[in-house]
Structure 1
Amino acid sequence: MQNLLNDFIQVIRNDERLVIDGYINKAKIEDLALNLDSAFLKLLMDHEGLKKHFFQEVGNVLVFDKVKFQRFITNKSFLPDSYTSYKNKIGLINTENQFISQSKNVSLVFPHKDCVLEGGQAEEEAKRNEIFWNELLAPDQIDQILAPKVLTNFKRYDENGIHKVENISINDNLFIKGNNLIALHSLKEVYAGKVKVIYIDPPYNTENDTFMYNDTFTHSTWLTFMKNRLEIAKKLLSPDGVLFINTDEIEHAYLKVLCDEIFDRENFVGDLIWKKRKGGGNDSTYLALDHDYILVYAKNKSKDVHKKKWRVPYTPEYLERYKEVDKDNGRRYYWDTLSRGGLQSPIAVELDCPDGTKITINSQKSKKTILEELEKGLVRITKTRNGWTVHHRVYEPEEGKVLRSILDNVGTNKTAKDEIEALFNDDKAFKHPKPEQLLQTLITLASEEGDLVMDFFVGSGTTAAVAHKLKRQYIAIEQLDYIEDITIKRLQKVVEGEQGGVSEEFNWNGGASFIYCELSKLNQLWIDKVMETKQENDLIDIWHKMQDEAFLSYKINLKDIDESKNDFQELSFDDKKKFLIEVLDKNLLNLSYSEIEDEDFEVSEEDKILNEKFYSLKD
């Protein structure tokens, strides 16, 4: 093993993609291998020892053994950096990787409070020095992390300001601050099978995304992160519920395969292509990518569930052509040419004109039907300057039109920035919002007034704001502190009747309310303290307090840590932070509802009453 490892290290140092600041990037190695990167595989094949170990000859073809290679790089002795060596010394050892479809791991994310974890992150902005730790927990590490949690800090926002919450209804709009995976599992107790529309704009996994755990988020870790959340999202959707996922080209194909597995391929509705910028520039090396993808999945795409066809309203300009009125039924219509080219399986019909001549047309109607409609006045033969023409009545549509897959008239990134600037007098208040018209199109497509809409990557709050204006109920989840200055304030403005976005189109003048609450914190408080700390001495103080007050992982032995304190001191500042976060018991990030009566946790009587009311809504 050691000789093989030494040979491997010498070989891969020739690939500059794998060496960052002098260190070999283990995550990038795994990513290139699993994606069968040709340059990387050639490096391995050019070395006889590595070729013999990782390739098999099938006929006259060399086949790369991905499974064997993955076992090799996930071995705990493979490329142990100072942090990994320290963890192994104190017994805090990583679990082995698995294929996504087989994995039961749970992915948590702990972003720095000053950072913005958002969808639509541009590549140049992905290089910001922001720390996001993503931790994977194996099944044997999970006890009660996904159990229902205590909610606290309740507030009701309405036209008259902020109030104490005295009662909770199943129809209330809800905003939860906290880790979205944990919040979703708490919501499952009440809202399973009740959500009509879920729209999410998750962080894109760009090359140097701020999803960092010292390395970039690999395809596998990003997909685990998404898999956990999509599995519970499926349980929350109603039988006729619909999921919209906004993403870009980086992970689109991988995400499609994952969703096919979770939702079943036959429930894939299609891809919407949203034109997010007008383009016109020449700012790209290869292709100017002006669009995002929106994957659309139904909970159940059977005809029995989706009886009503999806329709979007026709524009007033389109409907202007319907100027005549049928006196018998009052419906508006216009006359259109019955014969046209390009029809599938056209029927050639010969008709008698008023002057005795004959005309042959291509139609999808039979001659019998046309003659019957001529008699009823629904079809007419008139003479124009080009000769005799057959027209039929086209009535004003009642249900709207089928949405086209190219969304090029629902606003752009610029539109969304303008909406944010109008709200906050600052177009940089949130970097990548979505335009309200985009969300209005999706929400109205798949829901009716009163239906429940959810967004658990709510960001600047576009989904919640539009749902509020469209008189849909909504649930929004976000874990970062910027929501206090952006998202909550935006929803307050909506309640007060702000006139941006789609307000004018839907005659929005304010009203209704929403309830804000937070996941009650236990070990999450210590994570917040660690991530906010900017001085190493403060980290040492936090560690001393954690030993007395925090809930530490059962896997660590304080005696071993004390004996290895010199190794700890040699860790980088970020690795010290990572260690302090990793030794916390993740099952106790937040207070479980089952422990609400435990006096040690000092839950207020007010919160006890509200939590009881909330969780009793499922009855």
Structure 2
Amino acid sequence: MQNLLEDLKELLQQDERLVVDGKLLKNKIIELALQLDTSLIKILLKSASIKQYFFQDVDGILVFDKIKFQKFVTNKAFLPDSYTSFKNKIGLIEDDEYMNEGREVVLAWPYKDCVLEGKQSEEDEKLSEFFWNEILAPDEIDKLLSVKVMTSFKEYTSTDIRPVETFGKELNMLIKGNNLLTLHSLKKRFSDQIKLIYIDPPYNTGNDGFGYNDNFNHSSWLTFFKNRMESAYPLLSRDGSIWINLDDTEVHYAKIVCDEIFGRENFIANVIWQKKYAPQNDARFFSDNHDHILVYAKNVQYFKLNLLPRSAEMDSRYKNPDCTSSN
């Protein structure tokens, strides 16, 4: 078994598509194997032991057993720490190549091709999280994101609280729970119907409750954020929009992620709003007194702001008369 492992690793090193920073990418190996990539198969056929183990002779024709190969590669003894096809660095890519400049770019980071099953809550703070790879763990992801049963609905009125047996769209809902699972549970009933989504995710400042235990805290946040943006998108109506409140820590990365999911052409604005009115005297550099709200439309062609009418009090602020000219 050990000799077979070493032989396979040595062979796979010959394919530059499978190597990043001197390390083999398990996810990419499996992807190409399942696609019956001819270059990969030619490399595997170079070794007699590999040929004997992963190929069957059927009337003189060698047939590649991709299922057996997949099971072998997914074994923890083979590349135990490699479960993402993205490099262990964050940067802009185009066609899977990292780049410095380009017109159309997307952000890449470790675990981008995963769903983060967060385990943190007030009761079980900082438990280990799980990254389910979209290619290697589709069953686990489907189970995680399957529709969940919501219970214990209550109606709050101005005078009392009473249980709710059934509810229609005329009732507003406040749902307590994991927001990723909730978004997926709402899809069947509310897809393409939500006019506005406002989300205030953790800022990833180190003291805002986003304290995951892995060594890629920034990557964990990006995966956390991407999962929720992808889940929110199908809920928006054609004229709907999403408003995302963040601070300077992650907003610029979030903008690129949202460009990829919602489309750069559907970006409406980065609304800067003042959150503090007194200077922060203990600030190390500048006093941070603002936050950002990224605004994206589902389809900019149908997006329309609901403008408020001007009041008499607003009009009174203008002292100079409007200038009109005629030729």
Assess same fold via TM > 0.5.
Answer: yes
Shift of 1:177: 2.2
Assess if the C-alpha contact under 8 Å between 2:200 and 2:244 holds in 1: yes
Residue 136 (structure 1) aligned with residue 123 (structure 2): no
* Aligned mates of 2:80, 2:171 — CA distance in 1: 44
Assess if the C-alpha contact under 8 Å between 1:132 and 1:211 holds in 2: no
Aligned CA distance change for structure 1 residues 205 and 281 (closer, same or farther; 3 Å)? closer
* Aligned mates of 2:285, 2:119 — CA distance in 1: 35
Shift of 1:216: 5.9
Residue 235 (structure 1) aligned with residue 220 (structure 2): no
Assess if the C-alpha contact under 8 Å between 1:132 and 1:210 holds in 2: no
Aligned CA distance change for structure 1 residues 248 and 321 (closer, same or farther; 3 Å)? closer
Deviations 1:213-252 (CA, angstroms, capped at 9, x unpaired)? 4246532221111111101111101111111111011111
Q: Helix, strand or coil: the match of 2:175?
A: strand
Select the residue among 85, 96, 101 that pairs with 1:98: 85
Bigger CA drift: 193-202 or 176-185? 176-185
Shift of 1:165: 1.6
Shift of 1:145: 1.9
Assess if the C-alpha contact under 8 Å between 2:191 and 2:237 holds in 1: yes
When you count helix as a share of all residues, which structure comes out higher?
A: 1
TM-score by length of 2: 0.63
Assess if the C-alpha contact under 8 Å between 1:193 and 1:238 holds in 2: yes
2:179 corresponds to which residue?
180
Give the partner amino acid of 1:336. Answer: P
Give the partner amino acid of 1:137. Answer: W
Shift of 1:107: 1.2
Aligned CA distance change for structure 1 residues 70 and 169 (closer, same or farther; 3 Å)? farther
Select the residue among 20, 39, 56 that pairs with 1:68: 20
Give the partner amino acid of 2:293. Answer: I
Shift of 1:201: 0.7
* Aligned mates of 1:95, 1:146 — CA distance in 2: 24
Write out aligned runs for 1:586-605 (5 A).
Answer: none
Deviations 1:326-378 (CA, angstroms, capped at 9, x unpaired)? xxxxxxxx97152xxxxxxxxxxxxxxxxxxxxxxxx7x441xxxxxxxxxxx
Q: Helix, strand or coil: the match of 1:266?
A: helix
Q: Helix, strand or coil: the match of 1:230?
A: helix
Residue 320 (structure 1) aligned with residue 316 (structure 2): yes
* Aligned mates of 1:157, 1:201 — CA distance in 2: 24
* Aligned mates of 2:22, 2:240 — CA distance in 1: 38
Aligned CA distance change for structure 1 residues 167 and 204 (closer, same or farther; 3 Å)? same
Q: Helix, strand or coil: the match of 1:229?
A: helix
Unaligned 5+ segments in structure 1 are 1-66, 76-86, 116-129, 323-333, 339-362, 368-619
Shift of 1:207: 4.5
Unaligned 5+ segments in structure 2 are 1-18, 28-74, 87-106
Residue 110 (structure 1) aligned with residue 119 (structure 2): yes
Shift of 1:260: 0.4
Aligned CA distance change for structure 1 residues 159 and 209 (closer, same or farther; 3 Å)? closer
Give the partner amino acid of 2:286. Answer: L
Assess if the C-alpha contact under 8 Å between 1:193 and 1:235 holds in 2: yes
* Aligned mates of 2:214, 2:145 — CA distance in 1: 27
Assess if the C-alpha contact under 8 Å between 2:187 and 2:234 holds in 1: yes
Assess if the C-alpha contact under 8 Å between 1:267 and 1:301 holds in 2: yes
Assess if the C-alpha contact under 8 Å between 1:197 and 1:242 holds in 2: yes
Select the residue among 336, 340, 343 that pairs with 2:321: 336
Q: Helix, strand or coil: the match of 1:174?
A: coil
Assess if the C-alpha contact under 8 Å between 2:113 and 2:133 holds in 1: yes
Assess if the C-alpha contact under 8 Å between 1:196 and 1:237 holds in 2: yes
1:311 corresponds to which residue?
307
Assess if the C-alpha contact under 8 Å between 1:106 and 1:137 holds in 2: yes
Residue 251 (structure 1) aligned with residue 250 (structure 2): yes
* Aligned mates of 2:278, 2:168 — CA distance in 1: 46
Assess if the C-alpha contact under 8 Å between 2:146 and 2:184 holds in 1: yes
Give the partner amino acid of 1:108. Answer: E
1:375 corresponds to which residue?
none
Assess if the C-alpha contact under 8 Å between 1:208 and 1:216 holds in 2: no
Deviations 1:21-54 (CA, angstroms, capped at 9, x unpaired)? xxxxxxxxxxxxxxxxxxxxxxxxxxxxxxxxxx
2:170 corresponds to which residue?
171
Deviations 1:37-81 (CA, angstroms, capped at 9, x unpaired)? xxxxxxxxxxxxxxxxxxxxxxxxxxxxxx823947999xxxxxx
Q: Helix, strand or coil: the match of 1:301?
A: coil
1:494 corresponds to which residue?
none
TM-score by length of 1: 0.35
2:225 corresponds to which residue?
226
Q: Which has the larger radius of gyration?
A: 1
Shift of 1:315: 5.3
Give the partner amino acid of 1:317. Answer: E
Shift of 1:114: 4.3
1:189 corresponds to which residue?
188
Assess if the C-alpha contact under 8 Å between 1:148 and 1:186 holds in 2: yes
RMSD of aligned Cα (Å)? 3.3
Assess if the C-alpha contact under 8 Å between 1:249 and 1:292 holds in 2: yes
Assess if the C-alpha contact under 8 Å between 1:188 and 1:235 holds in 2: yes
Higher relative contact order (CA 8 A, sep 6+): 1
